A and B are shown apart, each in its own frame.
Chain A
């Protein structure tokens, strides 16, 4: 028994050392890949509130329900977002098939049109429902669309983080996503992104996104969702906050939820 304890401790220390060494050897791209993986959850149901605050401090609040599920061994995430309030946007829904390696497929349902409409997926730079979040922020980026550079390590909200510079590989990707460069701060502990600074197409600092809290929704596989995120546009003084009010881990969501049937009903 006396021998077992030191051996166990040694094993743990060695394991930690190897893990630490392995993490130290991660390339910027590998860190980003792990970051994307950390929020790739098998399936979730959630209710979220998005607050849009203009430069005068006036607020507009939107509540939405979201469903996500992974397909194709995690290469595809299907996502259904439906707005619950206010009445102006109530019933509006988005269905997205978010692919790792190709352009997404997207549909919108607007109650006034009374039909589901396929929309172009390349215009990711657009504002999402009038907020400072873009459509690009609502889906996971394609890893190969960017070049990565590890700038160093720092602390964000008491969390040790990698500091990455992320630059679109070409001007088309720049235009599609609306930024020329992004500095991301990724937690060394769980690889969840904690902060991003966006630079506009002219290279000027435009937005700062801060992840204030996260929730581990899949404890077995250590998968996370962002619980409270704020994005501030320092050029126009506007700010948007998204908080998850309720979330459930549910990898068994029926497939037909990700069809026009559920988008419309």
Chain B
């Protein structure tokens, strides 16, 4: 199936290339030159080791092979396949290797319309790293990588963009649900076994869609968006039958109204992002559906020569918040509800968080040092990601850093602290 898809996309890319472009349009081709090469093959090889003081969490070698056909008048195609060989993987100890299509899509352009069809990653939101409007592409917190992009989980999307400057309208249709992943499989839910996930089947009624209107003006960039579909983070359900009780992941529908902006005033960049989520509690008779919530991020960025800082306030308000206290008669259900509250970060009516990303670009942009940090002042959860990247040459990079979560036991970061806290070292060679 994968081979057929790859061949189809290559054929598609080659067919839609016309090679009749101007100098600059030709240079836009990923082929990287104005010659008659029909496609370009490139990629990387990466070795990674993640470990804490007690055990190695992840040791792997990875290679990515990317193929991009020359951009023609009507579009092109792109494929990235990745192969990972694991020596150690704490999140999936039975897995020794993995081959998967990271992305495989066709780009088509007709006048003011752009289409991208296939396996792809779509990122929404102008805030830095914490984007409540970013709901098309799920994420995978079990991935060990220094690159935040590697935690984005590709899915199949039909994307249409209509450009009418200074506006553009983007419509994304997601026919197949793909869930975000958290390292929660090891959670002991009162010794009840985990059953198979119950995710929506491939039916039109089960598809999701997002629509976004972007404004691009010299003074400000902004957008309003609407998402309706299965939320990327599933909830934990339980199924009780005589002699067999199990918990499993189940998806639910939600609607999310979003907006964002970015602008510059003087020496400061300003950005903000807002989302109002209205979960559909009629989707299933679920144990826990998150409440309606309002998320808001406001931040600024500033540069001083080679140093920069991005600072953000990240807030959340849970509408109709109810704090159910476990009682002896429903302690299991209360536990389940608590874990669901952790998944959706709805343990408090109002939460206040601050993120900081100080960074330095040194040695003529061959050495970059940054420290992404997040502090949830309400739940006392903290996240730190120091990262040092040294570019040995144009194609060889060394990365060292750490991913560190801290929080009380009954919090999400408290769970992650036990699972994925690690220091890491990576070598990446691009070709």
On A, residues with C-beta under 8 Å from B are 45-47, 52, 54, 60-61, 63, 65-67, 82, 84-88, 90-91, 97, 103, 105, 112-123, 125-127, 129-131, 178, 238, 246, 248, 250, 253, 255-257, 259-262, 265
Contacts and interface: CB of A to CB of B under 8 A. Distances in A.
Given A45-B22, A261-B114, A84 B364 contact: no
B149 A265 contact: no
Nearest to A130: B365
A261 B25 CA distance: 13
A65 B430 contact: no
A84 B107 contact: no
10 nearest interchain CB pairs? A65-B27, A130-B365, A45-B24, A87-B430, A114-B123, A86-B394, A123-B303, A84-B32, A45-B23, A105-B218
B110 to A, nearest CB: 13
Given A60-B393, A118-B264, A259 B303 contact: no
A88 B394 contact: yes
A120 B264 contact: yes
B240 interface: no
Contacts of A238: 364
Contacts, number: 124
Contact of B28 (A46, A82, A129): A82
Given A126-B305, A130-B364, A65 B28 contact: yes
B263 A127 contact: no
Interface string B254-275: 0000000011101111010000
Given A65-B27, A67-B24, A130 B165 contact: no
Given A259-B163, A259-B216, A260-B216, A85 B32 contact: yes
Given A87-B42, A120-B301, A248 B268 contact: no
Nearest to A63: B32
Contact of B395 (A63, A86, A248): A86
Nearest to A119: B269
B107 A265 contact: yes
B27 A90 contact: no
A118 B430 contact: no
A116 B161 CA distance: 15
Interface in B302-340: 302-306
Contacts of A66: 24
Contacts of B263: 118
Interface residues of B, number: 54
Contacts of B114: 261, 265
Contact of A84 (B33, B264, B301, B397): B33
Interface in B131-167: 147, 149, 161, 163, 165
25 contacts: A45-B23, A47-B23, A47-B34, A65-B23, A65-B24, A82-B27, A84-B32, A85-B32, A86-B395, A87-B42, A88-B397, A91-B30, A97-B218, A114-B121, A114-B123, A115-B125, A115-B126, A117-B126, A118-B262, A120-B268, A120-B303, A238-B364, A256-B165, A259-B165, A265-B71
A259 B430 CA distance: 29
A190 B62 CA distance: 55
B269 A120 contact: yes
A85 B268 CA distance: 31
B292 interface: no
Contacts of B71: 265
B303 A118 contact: no
A126 B360 CA distance: 12
A122 B265 CA distance: 10
Interface string B220-258: 010000000000000000000000000000000000000
Nearest to A47: B27
A89 B96 CA distance: 32
A246 B22 CA distance: 12
A47 B264 CA distance: 30
B287 interface: no
Contacts of A127: 306, 364-365
A87 B364 contact: no
A238 B302 CA distance: 28
A257 B306 CA distance: 30
Contact of B364 (A52, A61, A118): A52
Contacts of A84: 27, 32-33
A113 B123 contact: yes
A67 B44 CA distance: 30
B219 interface: yes
A260 B262 CA distance: 14
A103 to B, nearest CB: 8
A145 to B, nearest CB: 15
Contacts of A246: 23, 34
Contacts of B393: 60
B100 interface: no
B418 to A, nearest CB: 29
A130 B366 contact: yes
Contacts of A118: 221, 262-264, 269, 271
B168 A90 contact: no
Contacts of A120: 264, 267-269, 301-303
A112 B149 contact: yes
Contacts of B397: 88
Contacts of B163: 256, 259, 261
B367 to A, nearest CB: 10
B24 to A, nearest CB: 4
